[in-house]
Amino acid sequence: MEDIFGAGDRVESYTEPSAPRMDPKALRAQFAATAPAPEKPKRKLLNKKAWEQYEAELEAWKRETRDARLRESPWPRAVNVLVTNKKGSSGKTPTTLCTAGALASILNGGVAVFEAADTAGTLLSRAEGDAKQGLVEMLRNADTLTSRAAVESYGLKQSTGAMVYGSIERRRPWSGADIDTIRDILDLQYLVTIADSANNEMSAAFGAALVGADVLVIPTTVSLDSVSAVLETLDFIDKKDPSKLIPHRPELWERTIVVVTHDGRREDPEVSANVVEALRGVGIVVVEVPFDDHLAEGRTIRWGSLSDESRTAWSDLAHLVGEKLHAAITNN
């Protein structure tokens, strides 16, 4: 026992029996993993309502346990996701914002989205809020950013807690150094950053974003040109570019997720199934997201306005992203 008083004040000394100690994070993880599952009704056929309630509670328990495990992911550094497809209108910006919304809702914040495109895109116009300043201004004042509050003054906070950083007006193309500076600033404040790229894989901005990526997310609609662009993306990360303009990142093949979105246009179900089957056949993880009226509007994207089916699909994607991020950290 520690002698915090004088020796003359001590009446009796004793040694407390030692007790096993558990790291707080390990304890929380153990509780998350061992939380009791709902009790199964004994007679399914004689109590249909009770069985339906059990199945609903079981699904909720699975989601809560999975979410808790993602929150306990031991990432020792900030991690980055790159959303890309060289084909326009492939759903990059909605995928970026919905992935960020899903991750932020699970992680209780700690997620930032930034514009990694050559020119100002639609990121801020699809995000919640009205930005008065953006990345151009943040880069201009980079040396003065000494707090999270200062950094967040250049972004838009979403209802999920995610932050969105874009451009409020036309600007020059980003250089590779610009992307590096943006990442340096955001990495000090957020656990996960998500880069929303454009259509030019030969640009300096895209090259820098690709170098910093831990996980690649490639959205595609069910169209031949969009799927072809997915295959081209997989091809150029796997092979060395003779011009050396595109960084060689073959390890990203194992950390790539293709998101098949349905945008409301008429589709052939057989073609859709063939697209998914073909991508999975070459070892790529594929997530399908159902059509959602809210996303099809082309307006502000709010997590709470998505359909239940849509939020479930985006949450499934968020967990897959989390698994791939964990693999990136473990293998580095």
Strand partners, 285: 257
Q: pLDDT for 106-128, tens place per residue? A: 999 999 999 998 888 889 999 99
pLDDT at 37: 66
- Strand pairing class (156-157; 163-165): antiparallel
For residues 260-288, average pLDDT? 80
Q: Which amino acid is at 86?
A: K
Lowest mean pLDDT among 1-15, 63-77, 273-287: 1-15
pLDDT above 80 for 43: no
Query: Which comes out higher in pLDDT, residue 2 or 238?
Result: 238
Q: What pLDDT is stored for residue 99 in this prediction?
A: 97
- What does the angle CA 182 – CA 107 – CA 85 come to, to the nearest 5 degrees? 50
Long-range contacts of 175-179 (CB under 8 A, 24+ apart): 175/204, 175/205, 175/208, 176/204, 176/205, 176/207, 176/208, 177/208, 178/139, 178/205, 178/208, 179/116, 179/205, 179/208, 179/209, 179/212
Query: Is 313 a residue whose pLDDT tops 70?
Result: yes
Which of the pair, 88 or 22, is modelled with greater confidence?
88
pLDDT band per the 50, 70, 90 thresholds, residue 242: confident
DSSP state, residue 173: P
- The architecture of the domain spanning 77-331 is 3-Layer(aba) Sandwich (3.40)
Average pLDDT, the chain: 83
Q: Specify the pLDDT at position 145.
A: 95
- Distances from the Cα of 78 to the Cα of 30, 97, 187, 201, 298, angstroms: 24, 18, 5, 24, 31
Token pair in block for residue 31: 């509780």
Residue range 198-212, pLDDT digits in tens: 777 788 999 999 999
pLDDT score for 34? 46
pTM of the complete model beyond 0.75: yes
Which of 11-20, 68-77, 156-165, 311-320 is predicted least confidently?
Answer: 11-20
| pLDDT: which is higher, 167 or 279 | 167
Q: Which two tokens stand for residue 211?
A: 């170098």
Cα angle for residues 87, 120, 130 (degrees, 5° grid): 120
Q: Looking at residue 284, what is its pLDDT? A: 86
Task: Please write down the HEC assignment for all residues of 233-287.
Answer: HHHHHHCCCCCCCCCCCHHHHHHEEEEEECCCCCCCHHHHHHHHHHHHHCCCEEE
